[in-house]
Structure 1
Amino acid sequence: KVTAVLARMEALGIAVDAADLSRKAAAVRRRMEALSGTASALLEGRPLNLGSSAQLAVVLYEKLKLPPPVPQGQKDAAAGPGKDRNGRLRTHHSTDEAALRQISHLHPLPALVLQYRALQNVLSKWLEPEWLPPLLARSGMARAVALPLPSSSTLRSGTTEALPRLSCCWNQTATATGRLSSSAPNMQAVTKYEVMVQIEAEDAAAEDAVVAARVPEVAVASGAAGDAGRSTGRKASGGGDGEDIEAGQRGVRSVAIVARNAFVAPAGRLLVAADYSQIELRLLAHLSGDLRLQELLKVGHGSGGADAFRLIAAAWLRPGTAPADISNRDREQVKRVVYGIIYGMTPQGLAQQLAVHWGLVVDTANTPTSSSNDTRLPYVRLLQGNNSRR
């Protein structure tokens, strides 16, 4: 039965509102062009390709005389740019995110580059994916199925139009865990989260008009979806974390982009997203026999219960805090720690993730697995003991 369902899914595909993606991509590109202009103004008119690490290294470390990062294994940066992760000699000092954040307080250019790269990532990964051009090329052929689908250009008039439909390969036996996977393209990789990006004010106004014209949507039924009910957790891109520079922020507004919104359903129907509620965490509670974790999961059971990660955060990270008052930031930290431990992540690896996303230091990330002050929950101790014996 599953094979027949998957075959039908592959044959029918899913409709894509390519016009929505194109409109958002154009707005992001205009913002990137504005950032490039701001960078040139900061350099007294000198052109700079913000996408070129080599050009950026020359400007930052030679022209502006900003301190380059100290390569791993060296006492200072005077010995050269060091080696990359593959052991090859670098041709220039690093301009990665960590290096730019270290010097962002010394000059506005590093923060501007971080904004540019964040937008570039959103553009290439979500708004202009590699599968979009061939899909559009086929849109006038048999792959474009005439269905009454909502489109930003037809919502007000109530008319319908044909939208291209995207198909992928659904793989039933490709994963060790038994989960379905998709390929050619991997539609499961399209993020469900809101990504906050900064675009020019006039583009934001146009986006507001499109949103206002949309037919009111029925809330997606989450059932026992757990995290699916919180799938609008936001990720900031394009300078959403306090690194705005005045010269590059005038006439700029933040808008939310959800890449999965480009997948649409026929009028009168819904696309439903459903998932198991913290399935790995529940298996861990069962296998470890941790009564405290089991009790937390029982408290959070059902659609009216609290989220498991908020319960854990309230019990461990913020004792005395009601689960409902746990912030999204604290919840995400706890989720990273728990799943990091489940899958054998080292404290250093976890710290690197937390430092990039939340600005935490290694000691903070190491606290829940500290041997000198063992405040870990029992399931953490059990799992780490199993990992150490492998």
Structure 2
Amino acid sequence: MNLDREQTPSGQFFFTKLAEDGAARRGRIDMPRGSIRTPAFMPVGTAGTVKAMYLDQVRDLGADIILGNTYHLMLRPGAERVARLGGLHDFARWPYPILTDSGGFQVMSLSGLRKITEEGVTFQSHVDGTKHFMSPERSIEIQGLLDSDIQMQLDECIALPAEEKEIGRAMELSLRWAERCKAAFGDQPGKAMFGIIQGGDNARLRIESAEALAALDLKGYAIGGLAVGEPQNVMFDMIETVIPSMPKDRPRYLMGVGTPDDILGSVQRGVDMFDCVMPTRAGRHGLAFTRHGKINLKNARHAEDDRPLDEESDCAAARDYSRAYLHHLVRAGEPLAGMLLTWNNLAYYQQLMAGIRAAISEARLQEHAEKVRAAWAKGDLPPRS
């Protein structure tokens, strides 16, 4: 499948803007292991696997980069073991770019007992209860052992709503940790470390975080601490608030987002990169994403529907299997259900991003976004009478 992939890998990391439409940008990140077309959606391969998918399938769908997670991989199989086995690219058989999340969000959300100090965070594994310590330096060390191409700073991500004092404390700690991560990362040609803007839903703190990180002259910048329970309008407000303080010549990454509407709205406000477990998790739970909206294959009304999910899709899972068959697989608890629906969902997300890139190039993103939103607003089409 050809989804306008451009391959101009180089020995350095750099970002090129290729087109603009309002605040939206189409661009390309070049690095030794390949080029990343932006706006980009990064399938989440938390533990070295995009669940229910072969990675060559993920590549064929149009993904230029996948995401791995420091927290999960340090617990099992262990970063040192992955390094001895050739690094995450060889281990997982994905020779293209990989971004690793620092593990900060998972430490805060998944671990048991945890204690945060200036030095780092001591936490209890959700796997076996063992205690671990992660400092900014250790997070970068683990990501280096994994040999990821884009490494994220360790930060403290707090749930919203929260008091301004607590948001400010976590933001300032994250800034100090960013400085330590930068020092630990050093100079690695062809690789990048991204800083993470925090500040919750407080505009003043967001701007302060963005400006301080910009002064560190990093290769890319992420907006963290959103999509953690706040309304969509708050998320969009924070993006609009912080974008002017982010360097124009560096990639902008919105972490953990999201729905197609979240992505469209964020691209329209100037974001370049996204990741989210939604398409893979939804697929494992019987939910399909299509041009027509969401389709819940658990519903009995699909039991005798011989239509595919999307007869015009390039993806075989969407085009060649009936809704009735997919419904049967879901209701029977067959593993193939999650495989086919995850395949469909990731195909839809990559098609969504390809459409967004084309629309930016042709200066018609607003029109394109309205059409996508209108189709989703109709929801699942009823069966033929």
Q: TM-score range by the shorter chain?
A: under 0.3
Structure richer in strand, relative to its length: 2
TM-score by length of 2: 0.23
TM-score relative to the length of structure 1: 0.23
* Structure number having the greater helix percentage: 1
Name which one, 1 or 2, has greater alpha-carbon Rg. 1
